[in-house]
Amino acid sequence: MCAMTEAAENRLKNSASPYLRSASHQPIDWHEWGEEAFRKARVESKPILLDIGAVWCHWCHVIDRESYENPEIAAMINRMYIPVKVDRDERPDVDSRYQSAVSAISGQGGWPLTAFLTPDGKPFFGGTYFPPDDAGGRPGFKRILAAISDAFQTRRNEVDNSANALAEAVAKTEVFHDARGVFDANAIDGIIKSALTQFDERHGGFGHAPKFPHSSTVDLLLERSKWPGGAKLQEVAEKTLNGMAAGGFHDQIGGGFHRYSVDERWCVPHFEKMSYDNSELLRNYLHGYLVLRHPHYRRVAEGLIAWVNEVLSDQQRGGFYGSQDADQTLDDDGDYFTWAQSEVREVLTPQESRVAELYYDIGPRGEMHHNPDKNVLCIAEPIEAICQKLKLSEDDVTSLLARAGEKLLAARRERRPIPTVDTTLYVGWNAMFVSAYLEAAHVLDRPDCRDFALKTLDRILAEAWDGSKGFLHRVGGPRLEGSLDDQVFAAVALLDAWETTFDRRYFDLAESVMRLAVARFGDPEGGGFFDRAKDAAPMGGLDVRRKPMQDSPTPGANSVAAIVLDRLYGLTGERLYHDWAEKTLEAFAGLVPQYGLFAATYGLAALLHVRHPLQVVVTGAADDPMAAELEKAAHEIYRFGKAVLRVTPERLASGTLPAALRETLPHLDAAAPQVFVCVETTCYPPVADPNALTAFLAEIACGPR
């Protein structure tokens, strides 16, 4: 086949994926993932070149420009291969399987993922980014393309044998045959020990460079920090939250967090911003604020919400967008987010600039290798030190910093091209943000967050809910079947929405989602859930059964499933939920130790399963001020799995309380402002004073009861 002309558009031009559409101008005969590509590979007896990437991925754009837009390389690909391009956000099922395979081949994964497949989709070679030409003693993409094609054509039996062996190995790894065991809550201690072992005492966080956020780990540490002997856990969580908030990993003037830090200090990030990172980090800082009471954590959360409202959401219709890119062009590296000292001095007054330069460590030479003038804004000095150095009051320095931040942010918006935002609405990621915003509404007293979360959830229900199959993966565009992640995160959001509104529709839908998940995704023999439904259309290629448990990059879906099942059991008493939660935890009991802190969501699920969800039932008339004070107090203590339920006389009469909770509660006068704290089948004596309630909930948070 001849190479396409540069002016022509390939078949990706009509794709629903913005990442695939961005490659529509490339002179490569790209296919989307599907049977058409496999059939063509079989007919023409050619290997498949699989490229998996994302619209936010810097190195994906680099390989696009260097190789896939190169006419010589494009001609080689079109002649020797059937090229297939996949958006990892759109097809996480395809990505996860080939990541496992390529990691087994090369020892590493990531994006872009470059894999070479047999015509039936089995990988036999792969890696991540390849430079176009030989460099540093390593073969370039041109040499690799030629060598792999030659091996496929001249040593086909060897290639097929290698591909079959690798497929079998991946299948065994993914199904976790040896993972099942007796559920043991002591696994929680092993996860915490792993986190403490990897804790960076100097900078906070876990492990070395590159450094990623581990949100479930932080939540687990905060949860256990109030238990006897928890001082060290509090220190680890606090230092991690402080380190992330002070570094360039946190967008100091725009709000929100980048994807990860390339160094140990949280200083220089990879600048893309992901929905799923920011929803979970928002929850971290809300929980940190509840546990540690640092006002700074509240400001971090408020700044994150402000950025999401402005940049990463559809405020009119509801919905949280997928991501914001790191760069505007391939020639910059976070230029939108970084500052030369001269740029700062051009925008600010001399006094504002002096304070900002000290606070954010802005100097004539910055941290960016591609442009040494560019500084990543990090908090370098406390305000008190700047006050002493400049002989200014704290109020003066705080005021100058606030004005400087406003001016720098305005200049950034007005003078620089804004990095692209992927406006795709993925159901699972939206559900995660719905839950985070509902929690922010309570903790920060932000009814606007509540309203937007419910608007988003209602849009998802209207546009991406199928009563016979559950949630789709994406709102809008061609139908894209939902994954386990989409089901379980949406079920959590529905329960959170019910707790907030007492609208029984949300509760009933949460039950429907999890019953469908059990029927379509559940493994009745081995326990746990597969990522794809058993009645889903064949995926093609490396179609192995997979049960996601690891927290990477989002909380492990099986652990989340166990959490929502236990929450439903606590409210309904339905044994189906309890038994499936336990079977799910048992399915991975033998595997948890090897995952360590990457199993932190499993630790939270195990903790909830052992001590059961906590229901805090607040009674009183809708307009009763004491009931409002009691409800506010109920939200001020962090305990994982706690539900605060506002029961008015009207709500009690309407029968919106689930059966088990209704039967557990003693005979009550819903008009009297008081609180019943209930665990499983026991309710403690009612409390009618907000301070007494806060003290009681704090006591409960200090141990396993």
Give the pLDDT confidence of 178-214 residue by residue, as tens digits: 788 889 999 999 999 999 999 999 999 999 999 999 9
Q: Averaged over 524-532, what is the pLDDT?
A: 95
575 pLDDT higher than 90: yes
577 contacts: CB under 8 Å, gap ≥ 6: 514, 565, 566, 568, 569
Q: For residue 2, what pLDDT is reported?
A: 42
Dihedral, CA of residue 68, residue 72, residue 78 and residue 83, to nearest 10: -20
The overall longest dimension of the chain from CA atoms, in Å, is 83
| 652 pLDDT tier (thresholds 50, 70, 90) | confident
pLDDT for the residue 393? 96
Higher pLDDT: 544 or 403? It is 403
Quick: pLDDT tens for 58-116. 899 999 999 999 999 999 999 999 999 999 999 999 999 999 999 999 888 999 999 99
Contacts of residue 214, Cβ cutoff 8 Å, sequence gap at least 6: 195, 205, 206, 551, 597, 598, 600
Mean residue pLDDT of the chain comes to 94
Token pair 């070395």 is at which residue? 208
Is residue 660 pLDDT above 70, yes or no?
yes
Q: What is the pLDDT of residue 374?
A: 96
Residue at 1: amino acid letter: M
- What's the CA gap between 588 and 600, in Å, rounded? 13
Of 34-48, 491-505, 668-682, the least confident: 668-682
Structural domains of the chain, with CATH: 11-175 (3.40.30.10), 217-311 (no CATH), 330-418 (no CATH), 612-705 (3.40.30.10)
Angle at 555 between CA 553 and CA 560, to 5 degrees: 155
Q: What is the pLDDT of residue 175?
A: 64
pLDDT computed for residue 704 by the predictor = 66
| DSSP SS3 for 340 | strand
DSSP letter for 64, please: I
pLDDT above 80: residue 177: no
Average pLDDT score over residue span 682-691: 92
Distance CA 548, CA 484 (A): 9
Mean pLDDT computed over 121-134: 94
Q: What's the average model confidence in pLDDT over 306-333?
A: 92
For residue 1, pLDDT over 50 is answered with no
Q: Which residues pair with 421 in a beta bridge?
A: 324
Query: What is the mean predicted confidence (pLDDT) over 509-534?
Result: 97
| The pLDDT of residue 656 | 77
Question: With 50 as the cut, is the pLDDT of residue 361 above it?
Answer: yes
**Is it the case that residue 270 has pLDDT exceeding 90?**
yes
Measured torsion, CA atoms of residues 492, 493, 498, 503, in degrees rounded to the nearest 10: -130
Residue 176: pLDDT band by 50, 70, 90 thresholds?
low
Q: Quick one: tokens of 449?
A: 């967050």
pLDDT at 3 over 60: no
Which has more confidence, 106 or 579?
579
Q: 609 and 587 in contact (C-beta within 8 Å)?
A: no
Full DSSP string of 445-501: T-HHHHHHHHHHHHHHHHHHEETTTEEBSEESSS--B--HHHHHHHHHHHHHHHHHH
Give the separation between CA 566 and CA 575, rounded to whole angstroms: 10
pLDDT at 174: 72
Are 416 and 335 a contacting pair, CB within 8 Å?
yes
Mean pLDDT confidence for 387-416: 96
> Using an 8 Å Cβ cutoff, are 449 and 308 in contact?
no
Mean pLDDT of 234-255: 98
Q: How confident is the model at residue 8 (pLDDT cuts 50, 70, 90)?
A: confident
Tokens of 369: 């290798």
Residue found by looking up tokens 């026991």 in the block: 682
Whole-number Cα distances in Å, 413 to 107, 329, 383 = 41, 16, 26
Residue 399 has pLDDT above 90, yes or no: yes
Amino acid at 351: Q
Collapsing DSSP to helix, strand or coil, 206 comes out as strand
Q: What is the 3-state secondary structure (H, E, C) of 584-599?
A: HHHHCCCCHHHHHHHH
Q: How far apart are CA 631 and CA 278, in angstroms?
A: 27
Sign of torsion over alpha carbons 286, 287, 291, 297: negative
Mean predicted confidence (pLDDT) in 268-286: 97
d(C-alpha 321, C-alpha 336), whole Å: 19
Share of residues in the chain with pLDDT > 90 (%): 85
Q: How far apart are CA 588 and CA 561, in angstroms?
A: 13
pLDDT at 6: 45
Q: Which residue has the tokens 């000290």?
A: 358
